[in-house]
Structure 1
Amino acid sequence: MTTTASLPTPARQLSNPKPSSSHTTTSSDVNFQGLRIPRGPVTVSLSFYKAPEDGAPPHNYVEPLPGIPQRNWLDDRTDVTLQDLRGQEQKFTLDNNAFDTFQNIKSGMDRDGFEDDKRIRSVYYPEVEKLLLENVQGAQRVVLFDHTIRRPTGNRNPVTRVHIDQTPFSAAERVKLHLPDEAETLLQGRYRIINVWRPLNGPVMTFPLAVADSQTVQDVDLVPIEHRYPDRKGQTAAVAHNSSQKWYYWSGMKNEDRLLLKCFDSDESVGQWGRVPHTAFTDPRTPEGAVGRESIEIRALVFG
């Protein structure tokens, strides 16, 4: 699905302003159905990249093959302190940090609607396009090319390994794959890949999402991983731990919250900030009885 705006629209529309004052905690947003929502900084174990012991280039089979390990690289589990974005959302932007937050976003979809793929595309996709066109600086055209729903009972569980969905190579390949007739022209202008993430049964208390401030992530930390599909090859990036990295999470994300994750930006003036490592994580403060997290992420090509 493609939507085009006649002119770029400024970021941070007044209809959805960032909070201008510090967040004040109330009993209503600390407790949900008798369970206390974890807030504030927390130290957790995250899974980073460790190179294959045989020195081979890292790769992953998207569809596992009999008798062959699905991936050949290892995990480096490291304790990291996550700061809470709640109450300081206004400090972060896509251009400066490669992630952004939006609150009080209404939707025409209820939870049951996300069981229907056609409704997702006909109702929720246009909402996401509108959000991006109105709030991503310079965006003139949006092409949504994929979405993933994660549920405890589904076949797509939260990804508990630090990663970035795209590399410069795979971002360009996405343009060629989804817009082959226009790719040569589009690749000469600015193009970005942005994921829009939200819970379906918030507030989130299990497997919340952690993000790294892209300004604190060095290029040497990023390792291209070849993804081997039956009919093609793609890439994502694994992430090695670096003590300079600063990590955050957005406590108790609600269904009306939207977290934007920029996976690639062709604009070299902000290119260093054009990719955000992220991962689901286990919060040791998760209250007993908390429901499993359900979420949807939409992936978008943004031109302009």
Structure 2
Amino acid sequence: MPKHQKSLTVGKAAKIPAKHVEADLMFWRHPTVDDDVNCQSKNNTESITNEQQTLNGAHRVTVQDIRGQESAFTLDRNGFTYVNHEIAELNQVYSPQCMKEIIIPKTEQLVRDMSVDPQSTSTNNSELNRSRTGASRTITFVDRVRCFATDTAQLANNRSPAHSVHSDFSIAGALHQLSTRMPEECRLLTSRVLIINVWRPLKTIQRDPLAVCDWRTVEMKDRITSRIALPSGWTELGRYAFNPRQNWCYLSGQRPNEPLVFTQFDSHRIDEGGFTVPHTAFVDPLYTGFPARESLEIKMFAFV
């Protein structure tokens, strides 16, 4: 058995190999006053390239395969979880009507169903009980199909896997999204608001799997904010510096019925950094020549 594999036992089932991967993840460093690259424009490709060259740096890390240990990772403790959830209409993901009327509503229902009482004696929701949002209302504001793209237009539209460590929003970026899209809720902010990303393969993942960082191993000093100027305004996301304490995880051979649910903001955990979980696509050397990855991500506000 290769060094990067370790047997895991799943209940009483036979042992299966956990495929841990030694991968080069692209991290960022804190900008200096001379860098002048902490704000980028989507209209200036050259400045984006220069920023990547200035801030990116590869670090070899062990990405832990949690196949067989999925129940050990919960949304509230680790910031992410994998659940079993089937959508029969997933093959119609490129149909705007199907996306709007079936796929998004079913995904929102998944997140709301994660509000079941974890102390419940019911066995019907055992898969969801271990990670709950407590959400009574969900509103999707982004849905995106990602696939590998060399075309610069597709890259500019964020349609290819993102190969750098990031979170979709900083705290300021998340609050700006909320105030822009739902100004009344942001003004009142009387209830807990989360931003949840549900990331689902459209085919079994081999090439460019997605790694997520256990939030308990992220330190405040690791975070770097990056504001992006857009034609319609601005957004601010999180970049992350390398820290050997970080624990990176993924699910080998992730299937379409095994969505990753992870937190990108929690208004009740701002003092802890906002629960903006870092994530990144990474290269598994065993699968570099395999077909391009296809995945669907749906981001939503979840009101508790």
Scaled by the length of structure 2, the TM-score of the pair is: 0.82
CA contact 1:98–1:273 (8 Å) conserved in 2? no
Which residue identity lines up with residue 21 of structure 1 in the other structure?
A: G
Structure 1: which 5+ runs fail to align? 1-18, 31-38
* 1:128-161 deviations in Å (ceiling 9; x for gaps): 1110001133211111000111123572110000
1:25 and 1:205 map into 2 onto residues whose CA distance is 21
1:195 match: 197
Change (3 A) 1:22 1:235: farther
Change (3 A) 1:270 1:196: farther
Change (3 A) 1:182 1:110: closer
1:230 match: 231
User: Is residue 2:61 matched to residue 1:60?
Assistant: no
CA RMSD in angstroms comes to: 2.3
1:77 match: 58
User: Is residue 2:138 matched to residue 1:137?
Assistant: no
1:249 and 1:175 map into 2 onto residues whose CA distance is 29
1:25 and 1:293 map into 2 onto residues whose CA distance is 27
CA contact 1:214–1:273 (8 Å) conserved in 2? no
2:222 and 2:14 map into 1 onto residues whose CA distance is 36
1:64 and 1:88 map into 2 onto residues whose CA distance is 44
Change (3 A) 1:184 1:200: same
1:240 and 1:22 map into 2 onto residues whose CA distance is 40
Any idea what SS the aligned residue of 1:110 has?
Answer: helix
1:98 match: 79
* 1:263-282 deviations in Å (ceiling 9; x for gaps): 11111398457121100001
Any idea what SS the aligned residue of 1:234 has?
Answer: strand
1:294 match: 294
* 1:169-209 deviations in Å (ceiling 9; x for gaps): 11111111111233312x232111110000112x1000000
1:151 and 1:207 map into 2 onto residues whose CA distance is 10
Any idea what SS the aligned residue of 1:181 has?
Answer: helix
Q: What does residue range 102-251 of structure 1 map to in structure 2 within 5 Å?
A: 102-103=83-84, 105-111=85-91, 113-135=92-114, 136-152=132-148, 155=154, 156-185=159-188, 187-201=189-203, 203-251=204-252
CA contact 1:228–1:234 (8 Å) conserved in 2? yes
Change (3 A) 1:64 1:241: same
Any idea what SS the aligned residue of 2:93 has?
Answer: helix
**Which structure carries more helix by proportion?**
2
Scaled by the length of structure 1, the TM-score of the pair is: 0.82
Change (3 A) 1:168 1:273: closer
Structure 2: which 5+ runs fail to align? 1-8, 115-131
CA contact 1:98–1:262 (8 Å) conserved in 2? yes
CA contact 2:81–2:260 (8 Å) conserved in 1? yes
Aligned residues: 269
CA offset at residue 127 of structure 1? Answer: 0.6
* 1:15-35 deviations in Å (ceiling 9; x for gaps): xxxx97276457xxx9xxxxx
1:280 and 1:144 map into 2 onto residues whose CA distance is 23
